[in-house]
Structure 1
Amino acid sequence: MMNQLNPMTWGEFKNTLEQNPDLHLQFQYEEGKYVDSSYHITEIKQAPIVSVDCGGQMNSWTEVIVQLWEPSVKEADRSMKVGKALKIVNLVEKSLPLNPNAIVKIEFGNSKFDTRQMYPGEFVSGDEAFTVNLVPDFTQCKALTRDQSCGTNSGSAACCGPAVLEKPQLVEVGEEASACTPGSGCC
């Protein structure tokens, strides 16, 4: 099971699947809502990410993203078995070796659920099904996790807190300014 600080790696995810090859693979994307049993694994992407956070620190990591798609017409009453999903993984890995230390995400959406990338959370194995409960992705301020603010080491959360706006000042300029003041009706 993953938590927000330690997302599951591709190696951990694949190993968990390999322990359950004969079960039907299901994905729960919201409480009580499952990806339709006719789903396809349409692609597996490996994405190297390089970023610079608001504190000026460069970060890099790799993600493996498994994309699921529901066809518009139901094609199957039962979801594919884990073993079939692993055959797709093996086919992909013949052309694209997947980094076992990469963070794994599942990408899914349908007409009632906006497409998004989610993390595998809890795994539930039952009599015939192996269910992957998906949890939403999250954003974070990496500078704050290092006790920094944007561009400094001061420990202040200036970039991540609410913006402080200065109240505009009314300034009179020349003789005309005295004729047009707030509430005078000239404007």
Structure 2
Amino acid sequence: MNQLNPAAGGPMTWGDFKNTLAQNPDLHLQFQYEEGKFVDNSYHITEIKQAPIVSVDCGGVMNSWTEIIVQLWEPSVAEADRAMKVSKALKIVNLVEKSLPLNPLGVVKIEFGNSKFDTRQMYPGEFVSEGDSFTVKLEADFTQCKALTRGGSCGTTPSGEECCTPATNTSSAKQTPVLETAGAENQSCTPGGGCC
């Protein structure tokens, strides 16, 4: 059993992910989404998305990066003898890149969900080569506060903590939202009626 943990220094790039796969073309590609739980062998790679992200964090700083998202799908009925080899996955990648050149520095995420696991995007973490299988162990993606991470501030406190902690309620009066509804005679919206 050979283990690699290329994501230990941070999220893996698309270029590194592809190179890691290319070193194991004859093995069956598996994805482990939780301890002891694997995407069914009959999964399909349904699409590969390139998502340029531009954001402004709570410190007012603009950030930008690219994500490459590989979407996996399990058919409702498992297809016997359909395990995907790494070489087939790379053929799908090559087909995608003929139409959509993918940024080799983009952050890789694997998107997956089934009836027992809510759909989410996860990072490739550890890679395990054992027997005829090459397993990508997926790791959760977590939210973060970039202002705190860079030691900056989004307000007046030098530590930046006020942007990442709940605001305290200085008012002792509790405000209750008021819901206005139309009377029984106005149960449908009409153009110009003012209910929409």
Q: Smaller-chain TM-score range?
A: 0.7 to 0.9
Equivalent residue for 1:138, pick from 136, 142, 167: 142
> Unpaired runs of 5+ in structure 1?
170-187
Aligned partner letter, 2:94: N
Partner of 1:94: 98
User: Residue in 2 aligned with 1:38?
Assistant: 42
CA distance in 2, matches of 1:61, 1:151: 24
Answer whether contact 1:56 1:151 (CA < 8 A) is retained: no
Alpha-carbon offset, residue 128 of structure 1 = 0.3
1-side partners of 2:46 and 2:156: how far apart?
A: 43
Tell me, yes or no, if the aligned pair for 2:123 and 2:141 is still in contact at 8 Å.
yes
* Deviation per residue, 1:130-161 (Å, 9 max, x gap): 00000001110001112123245722411212
Partner residue of 1:26?
A: 30
Give aligned pairs, total: 168
- Give the match's secondary structure for 2:162: coil
Q: Distance in 1 between matches of 2:139 and 2:83?
A: 20
Cα distance in 2 for partners of 1:83, 1:10 equals 16
Amino acid at match of 1:11: G
Amino acid at match of 1:32: G
Choose which of 9, 16, 19 in structure 1 pairs with 2:13. 9
Question: 1:12/1:153 Cα in 2 relative to 1: closer, same or farther (>3 Å)?
Answer: farther
Structure 1 pair 102–125 and aligned structure 2 pair: CA distance change class (3 A): same
Secondary structure, in 3 states, of the residue corresponding to 1:158?
helix
Aligned to 1:60: 64
Measure the CA separation in 1 of the matches of 2:167 and 2:101.
45
Partner residue, 2:166: 162
Which amino acid counterpart does residue 140 of structure 1 have in structure 2? Q
Contact 2:55/2:62 (CA < 8 Å) preserved in 1? yes
> In structure 2, do the counterparts of structure 1 residues 54 and 156 end up closer, same or farther at CA, with 3 Å as the change threshold?
closer
Which range is displaced more, 143-152 or 49-58? 143-152
Residue identity over aligned pairs, in percent, reads 77
What secondary structure sits across from 2:17 in the alignment? helix
Give the one of 111, 116, 122 matched to 1:112. Answer: 116
How large is the RMSD of aligned CA atoms in angstroms? 1.5
Q: What one-letter code is carried by the residue in structure 2 that aligns with 1:139?
A: T
The one-letter amino acid paired with 2:140 is P
Preserved CA contact (<8 Å) 2:57 2:146: yes
Divergent runs of 4+, >3 A: none
Show CA shifts across 1:93-123 (max 9, x none): 0001111000000000000000000000000
| Cα offsets for 1:166-186 (capped at 9, x unmatched) | 2527xxxxxxxxxxxxxxxxx
Q: How does 1:47-86 map to 2 (within 5 A)?
A: 47-86=51-90
Alignment partners' CA distance in 1, 2:156 and 2:127: 41
1:152, 1:92 → 2: CA distance?
47
